[in-house]
Structure 1
Amino acid sequence: MIDPVQLQGMSAESLAKKVLDNELVFILDVRNESDFKDWQIEGSNVHIMNTPYFELLDGVDSILDTIPDDQLILVVCAKEGSSKFVGEQLIKEGKQNVFYLIGGMKSWSEHLEPVKIGDLKDGGEIYQFVRIGKGCLSYMVISDGEAAVIDAVRMTDVFENFAKAKNVTIKHTIDTHLHADHISGGRQLAEKTEGSYWLPPKDATEVIFQYEKLEEGKTLIVGNTQISIQPIYSPGHTIGSTSLIVDNQYLLTGDILFVKSIGRPDLAGKAEDWAADLRTTLYKRYKQLADDLTVLPAHFGKYTELGDKGQVSARLGDLYRDNPGLNIQDESEFRRTVSENLPPQPNAYQEIRQTNMGKISPANEEQREMEIGPNRCAIHN
């Protein structure tokens, strides 16, 4: 007797590896059409279709002809319940190799994939943590048994476990600015590791907790090899936005400069005021830096920005040649670009800012709900 085909679960981690390895994946997304259009799983070899769950309650006959027989099939919903139901229906109709995404899009939003960016000159390393479903990028600088984490997201256990595996102690956590699209894990991580939490003071006028002032002219040391993290005041996305130069090799730009676009200046309601700051940072301050610096942003917008190993990075000189946001010569046109026809603001961004100020403390599930959706920190031409 042949054993019946069983519906299998696939973790967000397994899916991320398939996406980054360009494996062929067929996705049936059964969320409502509006949720699907707002945010979906992307990849160069991801084939995806959307049929809402309520259209499949009476069976999957209507979509059987569009579901391939020779590919892995992944059914996706918001949390996982609906995808299990639909996946089981597909198996009953003879489909094989059917999976559901464990934890649904919520788990996809929270997965972090560590990618090594490179070595430091005196023996250290720098890693990028790609939050592939949300577009967030965090970093860990490691040297001689110590580490600094930059722009940490709220899933702090990932950084703790990675540091433990590397046998290093997290001494500093740093936020390049007060985030509005995701809840920072920097302060929580610093408390758990007894490290120092750094935040630009001009973004911290309303915070209700203690922090170290991330200001230009200060140098943070990680390890005994004198690997410096040099802050550069670079307002525009927020009034306090501060970039970091690590080891004279890497420029961590926060949400000021991305690989394919530039940061938006409107998330505190001050697009007109901050447009000039943004232009000064991009067209003057960054222009004075070395072309060979590797730009490491805090977000990416599209999967096409990921490199061959899943990393998001670019040479600064190349961005001045190729990035549309760095090639708007007319100042009035630049102002229009960064203040008009912007993409929708991030979900619950005001509540996220309040959380990052320490003014409110949402429960874990509420924090997950607040963050649902794509990265919207960039201006995409």
Structure 2
Amino acid sequence: MKNLEDPRTFDHDGFFEGLTDWNQDRFEEEFEENLDGFDAEDLDRKLSVRFDEREEHLKLLQAVTAGFHPRGGSGCEQSGFKYLGVNPLCSVKKTPADAILVKNEYNGTYICVICCEIGGEDQAVWVRNVNEAREVLDSPMNRDLLKSQLGVEGTDISFQYVTLTRSDDAVSMDYSVLNRNCAADSYTVWVADVEEKWMAHEAGPFLHTNLENLFEEQLDYMRREDPLKYAVGTHPVFPLEDLVYQIVKEKFDFGREYKSEFTREAFIDILDENLQIRCSGDRRERIVTSEAERLTDKALKTGVFSESEDDLKSDDHDLRVMYSGTRGPGHAERAVRPKYLENIADVEVGRKAYEKTRREFDRDSNLNDWSG
């Protein structure tokens, strides 16, 4: 686990390393003082709530992928709308759009852009997110890129923007207010119960008669095992659990030595195989590399991974999964969540202290002391 009381741990762009020795000493003193200014227990409570929200958001996204998956999704079989990937246009700009459903017909293409939302307290956020996604997707250049990624030909494309939320979060919804403030030509709300695994239409028009027929009853997506483990920007715990399991399982399956150790290249390769984004080439490489850096950074800071020479037994590997025993991939996977959640509040204290120190730091404050 990295030293969370060392500003170098949070110095991602070399700002601290670029300071003179004298300024580094001053920065370290101010950083240490700022560490005491943040309450780790309070941050832990807030992060716990945030974790629960991110987990529920992922479950909604999994509902879409399971319900409309081209292989075995009941919604796809009944309507012809199929799930074609997460995070549309993430190679261009991050948007609140979580998934894309597509139906091709001889006279045109129908596309549902899904935005998953947790919490019904501020439903204006639902509309703001749809409007933001629409603004990005309405650009002619981005439309052409999206068509290329989805394999869509022709110019006759009908879009609908869908807010997918939990059934309880839609209880107080006033669709007419949401629709008046939505810039999309066609906007609708679907709801899901992520425990009972059903989805339903709540309010708004249907993009296609097949969807209207589909949602005459609740859509049961229980029969399709979750085909999605994570997406771009998913809370780090979920991809790390899955990636650790795959890394360690492969070591056990092939009888490899150093079963907890691996290279950064192997980590990137496995992530690339599992990230369901519809782009290729340099665009995909940039996204996968960025995600790999985000995940390894959090794993190293929380102690899920180590890159210390004291922990690595092989010179051929860069990283080690930190878990006790050698009981196999399931044990390694189950060790990720408690270790991450135990340490992430301290990581956030360090990050906030570093940012505060950097924001307020005046590297020239004592120049007069040197002027004679």
Shorter-chain TM range is under 0.3
Q: Which has the larger radius of gyration?
A: 2
Greater per-residue strand proportion: 1
Greater relative contact order structure (CA < 8 Å, 6+ sep): 2
If the length of structure 2 is used for normalisation, what is the TM-score? 0.27
If the length of structure 1 is used for normalisation, what is the TM-score? 0.26
